[in-house]
Amino acid sequence: MSRLQESGRFVGQCPHGALADAARQLLVACCLVFACLVFASGPVFAGGGPENVALVVNADSWASQTVANHYLQWRQIPPSNVVYLTDLSSFEQTDVETFRETILVPVFKTLFERNLLEHVDYIVYSSDFPTAIDARRDLGGAAPDKLLAPTASLTGLTYLYQFVLAKNRHYLELINNFYARRPLRDLQQSALSAEHGKAVQEAQELANAGKSQEPLEIQPTTAFRSKYAWDPTGTRVAEQGMRYVLSTMLAVTSGRGNSVREALDYLQRSVAADATHPRGTIYFMKNNDVRSTTRQWAFATAVQALAETGVQGAIVDGTLPQQKDDVLGAMIGSAGVNWKKSGSTILPGAICEHLTSFGGILTEGASQTPLTEFLRHGAAGSSGTVVEPLSIHAKFPSAFLHLHYVRGASLAEAFYQSVLGPYQLLIVGDALCQPWATRLELELPGVEPGQKTTGQLVLEPRVTGVSDISAAVDHFQVFLDGRRLASDPARQRFVLDTTAVADGWHELRVVAVAPGPLETQSRIMVPIVIANQGSSLTLERDGSDATEIAYGELLTVRARAADAPSIEILHNGRSLGTIEGSEGTLQVDTRRLGMGPVALQASSRLAGQTCRSAPLALTILPPPPLPPVTDVNAAQLVDGLRLTVGNDLPVIVTETKDARWLAKLNPGADQPLVLDAYFTVPADDVYQFQLEGNSVNALKVDDQQIWPTGTAPTGPIAWTMVPVHLQPGIHRFTLTGTTARAPTLRVRFGGPGCTSLDGKRFRHLE
């Protein structure tokens, strides 16, 4: 039986994993040569749960924070696993160097500093991150392969982080995902990627010849861990091999994306789908479009293998399943689809996606149906390429995507086991969704929520209804405040020496990892209070017991800690401000938090240790909705926005997508401008405006100023996201500003998505 070391960790704790080794070199040596590193083998730990997720949030986006707030609570992700990024140069497209410097490296650096890298298997992005990344700078002047366009996706490059951090152009390849499960011939693994390609080609020829019933073996579904290394045959190896990190986006809420409400709806559905073992049908749509024929080589084998698991698959002629109420998944090949018109219902947890050129191009103006259409109708996840893929099958998930999913893999595991070259594939949805997982119910006798603990705390986890734990559990893991303290297959009894841990509130988690190739997790979480030193720290809402507050209001909190030199207020590990002394208040602008459930904590150095309070749980509600105007009706309105500059007569504007649209009107410098129009929204919801340029001072809706909330800007503004809660009906938009010498002005509105103002949606009084 092991005990905690003086450092507060269990004896025998694993060394830092592969990601931590890489990050240490990054920080100490400032060397980003990851792709050729050979990591020492060590204990391998299971992942696949909330403790293994790093949730990355754009702190400058209300939508990103709102989606993350809800997902954090629904998935019970430890607050320490949240990484906030600010001052991103773009939330739609960027170049690979900017991606490395402002997103990828800061994420790894933060996780390393928090001692989390050794067990992080997923990097999940909330909304408002650049989905497409221009990789030409990593080509070193070389001409790109005509089949391998140097545009990559956010999730694809994150998954291939070793190549990207090393500036190794081999991430722009068709077969660089060695974790992908390969087809086999004669039950033998293909030794070379070329042989794999030959096997797929043969299967394609069989499908085209109407002989797709020929059996095609596939490597077994297996769990993903960031510590696992893979060789080119798809075999896990002890030392030399490629390592990856699973990555998805939770939502895209700009351009051709979803609304925040839609995103929350499909994420909540996917969380509820876990371990439900749903009944229904997975549809493989077959037609003569190359978008369909590219993947038909595996349809018959996938349907046969699904049947062996007890799940029904169907190969159906057409574009979409028609009038079906049992869609557990859909593999589609068509440029344009209309799911609503199909009359079919997507069940919770389903993966629905289609192979088409521009399904992952989510900026406004792109053609073809975007992946977000499937999410809008309830899918748990979807995918699409961020540039023309030329119908190359290796860039898309194969039909075995659904087989891996049904066998119990998480959504992210299923995707990455089924795509050989993921660098252009954008995956959006709930990475952790596991409808076919089997979960255990855990007990932790002798440990009660909120109990005060001193000295040694004995942990003896049990599985409800299971007499032989060794048959149901391969090993247990112990986490404290998101950090793994122990993982030992030989033990079912742990002793936590609480004297090595700071006083105050802590979250204790025990995770049971099931035997077998999928390493499915179950967990129990118990808050405890450690009280060895007598230190005490409290946090409450000042002057109010209310647990709800509207977005945009000021929140005042009060913290107390005897003899504390200062008290810091934290939200998911980031500082919101500091109170000097042992007691005081702090005002927090709720716009810094986003909407939805949030938890704040007070932190202070007490008795030589960092002590934290119990969380203060609050809900940030949307601001009160603005009612529609009553003095205007639709019959009075005509197309276009009305622009007035200085004393000139108004000009009618119908397009604003080009940032130079204002400059083309030659308005002159230092002239006051007013851009106004009426617009209609169909439902009570939180919509958003997006502003960027050097000629905007203020934005009003229905004569109420919604931006800025403080001092007006004195110069150019980067993209700024402004939420507005509207009741259905007609509303008035008014933007004021002052023209710059070379004026730029871009304004977008949406929900779902967010696109440039135009004369069809925005109209003026005739």
CATH code of the domain occupying 538-621: 2.60.40.10
The domain defined by 634-765 carries CATH number 3.40.50.11540: no
Q: What is the spatial distance between Cα 392 and Cα 175, in angstroms, rounded to a whole number?
A: 11
Buried b (16+ CB within 10 A) or exposed e, 195-228: ebbebbeebbebbeeeebeeebbbbebbbbbbbb
Q: What is the spatial distance between Cα 430 and Cα 284, in angstroms, rounded to a whole number?
A: 22
Does the pLDDT of residue 565 top 80, yes or no?
yes
Residue from 51, 130, 43 nearest 92 by CA? 130
pLDDT at 293: 80
Q: Residue 698: exposed, middle, or buried by beta-carbon count in 10 A (0-12, 13-18, 19+)? A: middle
How many degrees, rounded to 5, is the angle at CA 113 between CA 91 and CA 36?
A: 80
Phi, psi of 585 (to 5 degrees): -120, 160
Q: Which two tokens mark 371?
A: 């992946």
Write the pLDDT tens digit of every residue in 673-709: 999 999 999 999 999 999 999 999 999 999 999 999 8
**What percent of the chain shows pLDDT beyond 90?**
78
Is the backbone peptide bond immediately before 625 cis, with ω within 30 degrees of 0? no
93's CB contacts (< 8 A; 6+ apart) are 130, 131, 132, 133, 134, 363
Write the pLDDT tens digit of every residue in 205-229: 544 444 444 557 889 999 999 999 9
Cα diameter, the chain: 85
Query: Residue 401 gets which letter from DSSP?
Result: H
H or E segment to which residue 549 belongs: strand 548-550
Q: What is the spatial distance between Cα 427 and Cα 753, in angstroms, rounded to a whole number?
A: 17
Strands 462-463 and 442-443, bridge-based pairing:
antiparallel
Q: What is the spatial distance between Cα 153 and Cα 92, in angstroms, rounded to a whole number?
A: 11
pLDDT at 196: 45
158: left (phi over 0), alpha (psi -120 to 50) or beta: alpha
Q: Do domains 538-621 and 634-765 have the same CATH topology?
A: no
621's CB contacts (< 8 A; 6+ apart) are 548, 549, 550, 551, 595
What average pLDDT does the segment 234-243 reach?
91
- Residues 300, 301, 302, 303, CA torsion sign: positive
What average pLDDT does the segment 166-194 reach?
74
Write the pLDDT tens digit of every residue in 426-438: 999 999 999 999 9
Does the pLDDT of residue 3 top 70, yes or no?
no
pLDDT at 766: 86
Work out the pLDDT band at 292, boundaries 50, 70, 90. confident
Q: Looking at the structure, give the CATH architecture of the domain made up of residues 442-530.
A: Sandwich (2.60)
Does the pLDDT of residue 19 top 60, yes or no?
no
Work out the pLDDT band at 201, boundaries 50, 70, 90. low
Q: Please identify which residue in the block is written with the tokens 């399904």.
A: 359
Work out the pLDDT band at 121, boundaries 50, 70, 90. very high
Residue of 231 and 715 predicted with greater confidence: 231
pLDDT at 297: 87
Residue from 317, 450, 155, 523 nearest 164 by CA? 155
Q: Please identify which residue in the block is written with the tokens 């913290």.
A: 559
**DSSP assignment of 698-731, as one string?**
EEEETTEEEE-SSSPPSS-EEEEEEEEEE-SEEE
Amino acid at 558: R
Is the backbone peptide bond immediately before 461 cis, with ω within 30 degrees of 0? no
Question: CA separation (Å) from 24 to 111, 112, 246, 419?
Answer: 11, 7, 20, 30
Tell me the domain boundaries of the chain: 32-179+223-234+236-429, 442-530, 538-621, 634-765
Please count the CA atoms within 13 angstroms of the CA of 438 that sit on its side-chain side.
8
Does the pLDDT of residue 553 top 90, yes or no?
yes
**What percent of the chain shows pLDDT beyond 70?**
90
Write the pLDDT tens digit of every residue in 82-99: 999 999 999 999 999 999
| Cβ atoms 721, 690 nearer than 8 A | yes
What average pLDDT does the segment 46-73 reach?
93
Residue from 259, 266, 234, 229 nearest 244 by CA? 229
Residue from 151, 131, 126, 162 nearest 245 by CA? 162
What average pLDDT does the segment 659-664 reach?
94
Q: What is the spatial distance between Cα 623 and Cα 586, in angstroms, rounded to a whole number?
A: 22
What average pLDDT does the segment 598-611 reach?
94
pLDDT at 147: 86
Q: Please identify which residue in the block is written with the tokens 């997790």.
A: 521
**pTM (2 decimals)?**
0.91
Work out the pLDDT band at 490, boundaries 50, 70, 90. low
Residue from 328, 363, 320, 323 nearest 94 by CA? 363
Residue from 216, 211, 189, 367 nearest 304 by CA? 216
Q: What is the spatial distance between Cα 101 and Cα 702, in angstroms, rounded to a whole number?
A: 41
**DSSP assignment of 146-179, as one string?**
TTS-SEEEHHHHHHTHHHHHTT-GGGSSSS--TT
Residue from 363, 378, 210, 228 nearest 297 by CA? 210
Does the pLDDT of residue 169 top 90, yes or no?
yes
Amino acid at 764: H
DSSP three-state, residue 570? strand
Work out the pLDDT band at 141, boundaries 50, 70, 90. confident
Give the range among 146-150, 304-308, 310-314, 475-479 with minimum mean pLDDT. 146-150
Beta-carbon count within 10 A of 647 CB: 7
